Amino acid sequence: MLKHTGWVVAALFAALSCNSAVAAGAEPPTTFKKASDTWKKDGLQPVRAEGLDLVYVRKESRLNGYSKVLLKSVSVDVNPDWRRKSGMSISTTPVKVKPVIEAVTAMVSEEVRKALEAGGYALVDAPGPDVAEIDVAVVNLFLIATDEMMERDKSVDAKSVGRMSLVATVRDAASGDLVLHAFDDEVGHKPDRPYREAAAECMDWVRSALAAWAGTLRSGLDISTGKRSLSAR
């Protein structure tokens, strides 16, 4: 959501048994429209989920709680227009962005694991009964400053410290059946620290957003036994 409210609510882990033609490992959609168009074609149904732009599940679904989680993959990709928006030169952009990708990837894993462990969920390394398998992708990441560019360019539009979108796919680990897809867009707050602190402010926002997302993910797992129902859009 454009105003941050967290990305996974009770609906996210209401485990919905379904059979889908969506292949594991497919490239995550990078926009709301692409996500919506793709998931509609797969025969999935949109459901309402506070704090999420899109959640798609199968109509013929049944609730089935999970007690274990396999965090199968985490990926991070930057907005293709970062070079133009940041003013970075073509030759140095990959070098400057790579550390950010690595840092955010680590943050996603850390915050998700921290939230799940705090909720008493077992993190496992292999599929099995009662295991939910999660793929998480951060796409369209754009920040107004990085550690390699200590002071943000004053000519850059600074309405927010940055933005990113999150795509989550949940499957039943034992069967490989798709549970659901979720997409959420996040825009940061207007920068309020001195220019020289812009890089730190950006990364603090990223971690804060990821921590909130992970905490709500845990809330979704907490109701995966069916204590709360999903409503169709």
What pLDDT score was predicted for residue 205?
96
SS3 state of residue 190: coil
Categorize the per-residue pLDDT at 141 as very low, low, confident or very high, splitting at 50, 70 and 90.
Answer: very high
Query: How far is it, in rounded angstroms, from Cα 2 to Cα 199?
Result: 21
SS3 state of residue 180: strand
Looking at residue 33, its pLDDT comes to 84
Pick from 11-25, 33-47, 134-148, 201-215: least confident:
11-25
Cβ proximity of 227 and 182 under 8 Å: no
The gap between the terminal CA atoms of the chain, to the nearest Å, is 16
Per-residue pLDDT tens over the stretch 7-20: 444 444 443 333 33
Between residues 190 and 41, which one has the greater pLDDT? 190
Average pLDDT across the chain, whole number: 74
Residue 88 in this model has a pLDDT that exceeds 70 = no
3 state DSSP class of 125: coil
Q: What is the pLDDT of residue 64?
A: 62
**How many Å separate Cα 2 from the centre of its chain?**
14
In the prediction, which pLDDT does 16 show?
A: 38
Residue 2 to residue 193: CA distance in whole angstroms: 21
Contact 39, 177 (CB under 8 A): no
**pLDDT value of residue 179:** 77
Assign 201 a pLDDT band (cuts: 50, 70, 90). Answer: very high
pLDDT at 90: 42
Query: What is the structure's pLDDT at 3?
Result: 41
Between 150 and 70, the higher pLDDT residue: 70
CATH code for residues 32-223: 3.40.50
Alpha-carbon span 127 to 129, nearest angstrom: 7
pLDDT tens digits for range 166-180: 888 888 888 888 877
pLDDT of residue 63: 46
In angstroms, the CA 200 to CA 151 distance is 10
pLDDT surpassing 50 at residue 193: yes
- Specify the length of the chain in residues: 233
* Mean pLDDT (whole number) for 21-50: 73
Strand partners, 55: 182
Q: Domain map of the chain by residue range?
A: 32-223
Question: Which of the pair, 185 or 65, is modelled with greater confidence?
Answer: 185
